[in-house]
Chain A
Amino acid sequence: MSLCTIWFFGPQIPPVAPEDRSTTAMLHTPQIVNNVMVLRVSPDGSFAKIRLNSFTQNESCVNDDPGPPYPSNPFRLSGSGYPPPSPFPFAPPRYNLPIITNADQGVAVIWPQPDDTQLMNLISNDSVSPPINVPSSFQPVLQREDGSYIGTDADKNLLAIALDGTSLWSTKINPDANGNGTPVHPLYATADGGTIVTSTDDLGNGDKLLGTLFTLDPSGNVTGQTQDLGVRPSWTGESYSPSGASLTSVYVPLVYIAGASFWPQSEGNPSGTGTAIVQCPCLLQTAGSAQGFLPLRRRPAYQARVRNVSFVALQSPAVDNKKYILLPGDPGLNTIDAQGHPHNHSVGNLFNLAAQTKARDLANAGAVNVVTNRVSSFDDFSNALTTNGLIDGEIMYFGHAGVDGEGRSALFPGQTAGIQTNITSVNIGSLSNAHLGRNVTITLNACHAGYGGARSVANQIALKLNRTVFAYPVDMYFSSDPTPRRFNPKTMIAPGGVPTYMVPNADGMQPTQFPLK
């Protein structure tokens, strides 16, 4: 123990005479050792304290600046403590170190150092890897299937960092004239290796200032943006928005989350509980492992896939590079009339599920280029044919259809009023085949889309686009069995997940090919 004089360097209010700007204190703890530990607690209650590093900080009174009015024995710190030196050297560490899962291998701890650099340690089976340098202030939020982390830094950069610390890419989203990026928060690592981030601002009191959703490709290039409605997908793929004390189901385009990642979305899983879980275990299954899982299997981010791909009975299909377009329409509306009677015209999530099933089947057959576009109007349908590059696979519509008030055969992709909500002979003339390959086919999974022969909406689309269209002249229903048969309302219940097929309501019916010869 030694006696130190602590000098108040800052301005004093009220003013204090220079000779009074000091106090004397006893130095009780000449050395402080900070151990930075990670606590591992297992489900059975066992635990381990895993040391990442130790920092030693020495305190002394050194007479190295004796001139008046400085004290003769000022308080001095030497060495480095942890957390980095603060005005209160005796305060306990205040850092919540960023820890994120590392697939099923353990965790990664990414933590700032006293010298403003940042290190990552990988912890597996209570063992700590050598420190790995990562960019300063990088905060991981997502882990992709190839193991790399997606996160942000203090300079509003969005970054992808490999497990060896290499910066794969760094980008600023929607920068202003001064080069300042829009602050974003990563939401999802997607199955194609891309990322979806949002500029929605969490106001901290449960309220959010809704912003924009940005879609990035595997290399960090922004490929699309849309308004963030504040909805998040549930475990089963439906999306909900808070509505007072309850939730309202909202239909938004499907997000194909990286199903083989253990942390593909912020907060880990759809419940936001911070629990790491692989959402599509089948993606990691292999017949070569006793438990059906490879110990550590990562996929290159560039391998495009869709979620829920089953490898059962998949005999190494040839890669199919054709582009397929899936077009689920609006579900329809449910209303309650003045007498309180419900009128249910909505099919809920079934169109989405049917599209999802088709995407899965295509992926199982080797397709790597499947695009899903939600369509709510004629314009959406038309744009889907012209803004997706060359389409050389199939186009499949999953939606409502019927007849309009003038007796015209129609597709009903939207659920609002207005002539542009529907696709009929009034607007089919505006469709373009400029981006359709010669052999592309269009399948209309919609009730009665092929009814009426030459007058049917299927025939008119086929004639206008000069491509083959398949459609049914009967109504359709949803089933987990794709076999065409008569609908029995007593025994056939709509599926609640994948697979969901739209099936014609007739025994053995095959689709009609248009244009009619």
Chain B
Amino acid sequence: MQTHSVISRIINFGMFIVLANSLLFPVNSPKDVLEHFCELDANGAQIDEGRRSELAGLFTQSAASAPEDAIVIKDFVILGSTKVAGEIDFEVEYIYLGRLNVATARYSRLPATYPPGPVKVRVHYQLVPNMGGPKNNLKSEGSAHPEPAEWRIKGTPPIPHITVQAALQYVTRLRNNSSSATIKNNGAHAIVALNRLQ
């Protein structure tokens, strides 16, 4: 009985140490990584050439090319995770509103396979441990941990999901900086349509 009690105390103390460590040295959880990406994405990082480097190291594979289209979303919510064979599965629930052509600033309804927006869409993401590759840009602010644990999103970046606000900023900038009449015309229509969504 006494031995059991001593062992139990040691285990409890060990659990306390583990807990204390996790509190003192926070690491970037898979959800942190995914949340960081979703925030960057929603704010237009994928469609802004100057900001695309912010996504470096968040995926196991780089994007093959710049995206042609972006989905305009109302917002997103990250659903709970499940662990499958060392990988962490997440679903991100978006509310799709429409589609924006990144090159031409043309705003249109969602592809015909989707109901007319707004529609709820759940996109699956898999987070995998980074086995010795280059570090991503995500730092755990205020952490004493010198090298945050590394998780990456499996595959290449999906189609961009940008908020209405980010879409408006992008279209406004594109229209103002372009000399193309088509882009200016598309941009004007897109701004009207996007403003209706706000």
Which residues on A are within 8 Å of B, measured CB to CB? 332-335, 337-339, 341, 343, 345, 400-405, 407, 410, 412, 415-419, 421-422, 447-448, 451-452, 473-475
Q: Contacting B80 at CB < 8 Å: which of A345, A416, A452?
A: A416
B14 at the A interface (CB under 8 A): no
A473 and B115 contacting across the interface, CB-CB below 8 Å = yes
* Bound CA span A407–B93, Å: 13
* A418-B121 in contact given A343-B75, A345-B95 (Cβ < 8 Å): no
B139 to chain A, nearest CB (A): 13
* Bound CA span A417–B124, Å: 8
* Main secondary structure on B side of the interface with A: strand
B91 and A421 contacting across the interface, CB-CB below 8 Å = yes
* Bound CA span A334–B36, Å: 17
Q: Contacting A475 at CB < 8 Å: which of B35, B119, B121, B158?
A: B119
A332 and B119 contacting across the interface, CB-CB below 8 Å = no
* A335-B77 in contact given A407-B114, A448-B115, A448-B119 (Cβ < 8 Å): yes
A416 and B82 contacting across the interface, CB-CB below 8 Å = yes
A410 and B118 contacting across the interface, CB-CB below 8 Å = no
B42 to chain A, nearest CB (A): 8
Residues from chain A with a CB closer than 8 A to the CB of B123 are: 404-405
* Bound CA span A410–B124, Å: 13
A402 and B91 contacting across the interface, CB-CB below 8 Å = no
B69 at the A interface (CB under 8 A): no
Q: What are 15 contact pairs spanning A and B, CB under 8 A?
A: A335-B77, A341-B75, A343-B76, A400-B120, A403-B113, A403-B121, A403-B122, A404-B124, A405-B123, A421-B79, A447-B115, A447-B119, A447-B120, A448-B115, A452-B113
A343 and B77 contacting across the interface, CB-CB below 8 Å = yes
* Bound CA span A303–B93, Å: 43
B121 and A404 contacting across the interface, CB-CB below 8 Å = yes
Residues from chain A with a CB closer than 8 A to the CB of B77 are: 332-335, 343, 345
* A402-B113 in contact given A343-B77, A417-B90, A421-B79 (Cβ < 8 Å): no
* Bound CA span A125–B118, Å: 62
B39 at the A interface (CB under 8 A): yes
* Bound CA span A289–B8, Å: 67
Residue of B at shortest CB range from A473? B115
* 8 Å CB interface, B60-84 against A: 75-82
B122 and A407 contacting across the interface, CB-CB below 8 Å = no
A359 to chain B, nearest CB (A): 26
Residues from chain A with a CB closer than 8 A to the CB of B114 are: 403, 407
Residues from chain A with a CB closer than 8 A to the CB of B150 are: none
A412 and B122 contacting across the interface, CB-CB below 8 Å = yes
Residues from chain A with a CB closer than 8 A to the CB of B79 are: 333, 415-417, 421
Residues from chain A with a CB closer than 8 A to the CB of B95 are: 345
New A-B pairs, 12, CB < 8 Å, besides A339-B39, A419-B124: A333-B93, A335-B77, A402-B119, A403-B120, A404-B123, A407-B113, A412-B93, A412-B120, A417-B90, A418-B89, A451-B115, A475-B115
B131 to chain A, nearest CB (A): 23
* 8 Å CB interface, B92-137 against A: 93, 95-96, 113-115, 118-124
Residues from chain B with a CB closer than 8 A to the CB of A475 are: 115, 118-119
* A403-B115 in contact given A343-B77, A415-B79, A417-B79 (Cβ < 8 Å): yes
Residues from chain B with a CB closer than 8 A to the CB of A417 are: 79-82, 89-91, 124
Centre residue among B75, B76, B158 by max chain A CB count within 10 A: B75
* Bound CA span A465–B170, Å: 48
B39 and A337 contacting across the interface, CB-CB below 8 Å = yes
* Bound CA span A281–B123, Å: 48
Residue of A at shortest CB range from B122? A404
A92 to chain B, nearest CB (A): 44
Q: Contacting A418 at CB < 8 Å: which of B91, B118, B158?
A: B91
Residue of A at shortest CB range from B89? A417
Residue of B at shortest CB range from A410? B122
Residue of B at shortest CB range from A455? B113
Centre residue among B39, B76, B118, B122 by max chain A CB count within 10 A: B122
Q: Contacting A332 at CB < 8 Å: which of B39, B93, B124?
A: B93
* Bound CA span A12–B93, Å: 77
Residues from chain A with a CB closer than 8 A to the CB of B113 are: 403, 407, 452
B168 to chain A, nearest CB (A): 16
Residues from chain B with a CB closer than 8 A to the CB of A334 are: 77
Centre residue among A334, A403, A407 by max chain B CB count within 10 A: A403
Residue of B at shortest CB range from A406? B124
Residue of B at shortest CB range from A338? B39
* Bound CA span A416–B122, Å: 11
Residue of B at shortest CB range from A415? B79
* Bound CA span A452–B114, Å: 8
Residues from chain A with a CB closer than 8 A to the CB of B91 are: 405, 416-418, 421
* A405-B124 in contact given A338-B35, A418-B89 (Cβ < 8 Å): yes
Residues from chain B with a CB closer than 8 A to the CB of A422 are: 122
A236 to chain B, nearest CB (A): 25
Residues from chain B with a CB closer than 8 A to the CB of A333 are: 77, 79, 93
Residue of A at shortest CB range from B81? A417
Centre residue among B75, B77, B78, B96 by max chain A CB count within 10 A: B77
Residue of A at shortest CB range from B74? A343
Residue of B at shortest CB range from A446? B120
* Bound CA span A186–B14, Å: 40
A402 and B35 contacting across the interface, CB-CB below 8 Å = no
* Bound CA span A18–B89, Å: 82
Residues from chain B with a CB closer than 8 A to the CB of A447 are: 115, 119-120
* A401-B120 in contact given A332-B77, A335-B78, A421-B91 (Cβ < 8 Å): yes
A459 to chain B, nearest CB (A): 14
Residues from chain B with a CB closer than 8 A to the CB of A418 are: 82, 89, 91
Q: Which 9 A-B pairs have the closest CB atoms?
A: A402-B120, A405-B123, A416-B80, A418-B82, A451-B115, A448-B115, A343-B75, A417-B91, A345-B77
B119 and A403 contacting across the interface, CB-CB below 8 Å = yes
Residue of B at shortest CB range from A405? B123
A476 to chain B, nearest CB (A): 12
* Bound CA span A147–B77, Å: 49
Residue of A at shortest CB range from B75? A343
Residues from chain A with a CB closer than 8 A to the CB of B89 are: 417-418
* Bound CA span A404–B39, Å: 20
Residue of B at shortest CB range from A346? B77
B163 to chain A, nearest CB (A): 9
Residue of B at shortest CB range from A408? B113
